[in-house]
Amino acid sequence: MRIRDESKKDTAAVRALNIEAFGTPSEANLVDALRKQMGLLISLVAEQDEQILGHILFSPVSLSGHTDLKIMGLGPMAVAPPHQRKGIGSQLVPTGLKKCKQLDYIAVVVLGHPDFYPRFGFVPSSHFDIDYEYDVPEEVFMAAELVPGSLRGKSGRVKYNPAFKEFL
């Protein structure tokens, strides 16, 4: 298994993977829209035998009152159904977090499964007095500091690109 940056030649395979993994085109449409609308994205694929088995996307988000902070939002992440629960997501997440840190992002937020993401340092965002722009259970909106202490005293509301509202 090799984790690498997504390239232009991967676009169709990443789209098909997202549709297969989520059962609808919503996340695939979101990925396409974010590619068009946003400058900096971290988009990684997990590849084996020239087949794309997994994909993860990170896009910049803002924190109200602290728009100067460099924070990424993780999502969507997709793994081909026959290859789920085989560690592909567990390879994609830390590789993506490392790339975020290399680009001087201080934290990452995610709306995700509370049993999966804590193993990568995510905790409920309420620990930092940070909330999500939509009403979701507290335990599913999480944050991870890439720079220890970087979110201390930085309360506010995270806002994602408007494409998230349009496609999800």
Range(s) of the domain holding residue 38: 2-167
pLDDT of residue 38: 77
Average pLDDT over the chain, rounded to whole? Answer: 95
Using a cut of 0.85, tell me whether the model's pTM lies above it. yes
CA distance 19 to 46: 16
DSSP code per residue over 64-120: TT-TTS-EEEEEEEEE-GGGTTSSHHHHHHHHHHHHHHHTT--EEEEE--TTTGGGG
* Strand 107-111 with 123-124, pairing: unpaired
What percent of the chain has a predicted confidence (pLDDT) above 70?
A: 98
- What confidence category does residue 156 fall into, taking pLDDT thresholds of 50, 70 and 90? very high
Tell me, what DSSP letter sits at residue 130?
A: E
Q: How many domains does the chain have?
A: 1
- What confidence category does residue 79 fall into, taking pLDDT thresholds of 50, 70 and 90? very high
> What does the block give as tokens for 102?
């290399």
CATH of the domain at 16: 3.40.630.30
pLDDT of residue 33: 93
pLDDT of residue 168: 59
Query: Taking 90 as the threshold, does the pLDDT of residue 157 lie above it?
Result: yes
* Rounded mean pLDDT, 84-107: 97
